[in-house]
């Protein structure tokens, strides 16, 4: 019995393959996303022989489904990648998103233009990426913002959040705000078991003076 060739990520006409789904009548089927943003299950044979061209949108008139003309815009790939990591088990980042139950909102899942309009209303520009405010929440307008790579890294689950004077920020941000090296703060809080107030408010004049505390 021959092995099944994995079509995940491959492009066939207007379809990009997301993942394999349950076979029907011994025929291999794949979940695909059309360039217009709509998902459709397609037989593998029809993908490879070119019979499956679009989800049907092209027959309804280009103006209705491709009017945005934005399939080559950088945000289109951002949108596609967002969906892949939430729904494609073969995606390298799936374990951090889809496996944790994170989804894409109904407003965005099949509507790139809606996602594009949201991003542009937030003044998107190259160098900014989509970041979820609540790390365990879904991709949806109310839980997303645009962030630099540095800001996004600060919002990962690996970051420790610390509340000082009623304000909560990650460890790295407090280090920058007080001008204290992260290694020094870590030592104060975890090795010496200082209070947050003492760790933040005690000046570091030099290493020798610091070691006398």
Say yes or no: 39 and 86 in one domain: no
Is pLDDT at 39 greater than 90 in this prediction?
no
Higher pLDDT, 70 or 23: 23
Residue 79: inside a domain, yes or no? Answer: yes
Residue 150 sits in the same domain as residue 79: yes
Separation between Cα atoms, residue 82 and residue 97, nearest integer Å? 9
pLDDT at 168: 75
| More confident: 187 or 57 | 187
Domain count, the chain: 3
pLDDT of residue 141: 93
The answer to whether position 3 is within a domain reads no
Same-domain status, 150 and 207: no
pLDDT in tens, 164-181: 888 777 777 787 788 888
**Residue 212: pLDDT over 60:** no
Higher pLDDT, residue 78 or 62:
78
| Residue entry with tokens 């509340």 | 163
- Provide the domain limits for residue 103: 74-154
The pLDDT tens digits of the residues spanning 103-159 come to 999 899 878 889 999 999 988 888 888 888 887 889 999 999 887 766 655 555 455
Query: Is 2 within a domain?
Result: no
Phi-psi region of 61 (alpha: psi -120 to 50; beta: other; left: phi over 0): left
- Where does a domain end: 65, 82, 104? 65
Residue 172 lies in a domain: yes
Residue 6 lies inside a defined structural domain of this protein: no
Q: For position 211, what pLDDT does the model report?
A: 47
Residues 89 and 139 in one domain: yes
Nearest CA-CA partner of 55 in 71, 72, 73, 42: 42
Model pTM above 0.85: no
Query: Which residue has tokens 């870590």?
Result: 186
167 shares a domain with 149: no
CB 175 within 8 A of CB 185: yes
**Is 82 contained in some domain?**
yes
Q: 117 and 52, same structural domain?
A: no
Q: Does residue 86 sit within a domain?
A: yes
Q: Can you give the pLDDT at residue 29? A: 92
Please, which pLDDT band fits residue 63 given cuts at 50, 70 and 90?
very low
């Amino acid at each position: 019995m021959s092995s099944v060739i994995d079509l995940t990520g491959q492009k066939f006409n207007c379809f990009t393959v997301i993942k394999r789904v349950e076979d029907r009548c011994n025929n291999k089927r794949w979940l695909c996303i059309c360039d217009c943003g709509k998902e459709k299950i397609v037989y593998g044979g029809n993908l490879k022989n070119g019979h499956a061209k679009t989800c049907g949108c092209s027959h309804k008139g280009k103006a209705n489904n491709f009017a945005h003309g934005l399939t080559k815009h950088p945000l289109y790939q951002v949108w596609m990648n967002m969906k892949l990591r939430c729904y494609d088990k073969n995606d390298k980042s799936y374990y951090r998103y889809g496996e944790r139950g994170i989804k894409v909102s109904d407003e965005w899942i099949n509507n790139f233009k809606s996602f594009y309009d949201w991003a542009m209303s937030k003044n998107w520009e190259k160098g900014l990426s989509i970041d979820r405010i609540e790390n365990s929440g879904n991709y949806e307008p109310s839980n997303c913002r645009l962030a630099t790579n540095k800001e996004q890294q600060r919002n990962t689950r690996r970051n420790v959040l610390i509340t000082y004077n009623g304000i909560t920020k990650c460890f790295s941000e407090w280090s920058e705000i007080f001008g204290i090296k992260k290694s020094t703060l870590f030592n104060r809080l975890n090795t010496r078991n200082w209070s947050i107030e003492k760790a933040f408010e005690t000046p570091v004049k030099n290493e020798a003076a610091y070691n006398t505390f």
